[in-house]
Each structure stands twice: as structure tokens, then as C-alpha cells.
Amino acid sequence: MHDLGVAPDGPHQQRFEIEGADRAAEFLVGHGIPASDADQVWQAIAFHTSPASRSAGAALCLLVREGVALDFGGPMGNDHADAVTDEQAAAVHAVYPRLEMVRSLTDAIVAHAAKNPRARPLHDPGEFLRERETYGRTRMEQACVSSRWGN
């Protein structure tokens, strides 16, 4: 649920992480999950791209951040590369193929950032937009081409 903020039907008024966190929490509460649990999910999603999440002490936030990093591989996810074996990855990707995940997600983040300047503070979305406009490809996309699982 951490990427709900880049869905094309979103309001695109805030950073995609915040919009995704809002949508996830609303979904969970709407399905009977206690608000306190939904708030933990909100925090994990809202802060998963923030380096501060490493020191925030929130275990769920750290797990989301590290899981995303591992999924992207390359320079973002080498810290725990041995946490998933090639066999485990093959089993997961057989059921959930990557489908050009890096490119698709970057496209969605760039589209979100392009819709509203307030949605692209001086971090990933704004930088992705600048790199796409300047070079046609982001540094993250370039790095992930050579990652363990590719795109």
C-alpha cells in the first residue's frame, strides 16, 4: 500500500508518501482496523523515503524503508542483499512479476510531482522530475538497471 499516493486518481496535492499514507490509513480504518494500528501504518508509509526513518525508532517504518530498498536493489538495497536468496526471489517474482517496476514507479512519481509543485519538495519526486526533464532518465533508474533483479 506504500505506493497508493502515486495512483492516477489521487488528489496530487501533497508528497506522494503523505497521500499514500492517508489512503492506506483510510482503507484500514474503513475495514475495521483500530485507528492506532492504522496510524502506525500511516507513519511507516509517510516516512519510508526519509533517511530520518532509520533513527526514528519506528520498527514498521524501518521495515518498509529497508524492504523498498531491498526491492530496488543496487546502491539502495545492498545492506541486506543476503536476506533473500535467489530461490526465494524467483518464487516471489513468479507470482508477482516486476513488470518494469522501477520504470513504472518512477513514471508515476514524476507524473505526481509534475501536477503540483507542492508535491515535489527538495527530495526524490522533485529530483526525479528534474532528472527526467534534463536527462530522460533518473539516477535511480540507471542504478537499478544493474541491480540484482533488474527492472
pTM: 0.70
pLDDT in tens, 58-116: 788 878 877 777 777 655 556 677 788 889 988 988 998 888 878 888 888 888 777 77
**Residue 56 pLDDT > 80:** no
The total number of residues shown for the chain amounts to 151
d(CA 104, CA 146): 17
Average pLDDT, the chain: 79
Per-position DSSP letters for the chain, written without gaps between them: -TTGGG-TTS--SS-HHHHHHHHHHHHHHHTT--HHHHHHHHHHHHTTT-GGGGTS--HHHHHHHHHHHHHH-GGGS-TTGGGS-HHHHHHHHHHS--SSHHHHHHHHHHHHHHH-GGG--TTHHHHHHHHHHHHSS-HHHHHHHTSTT--
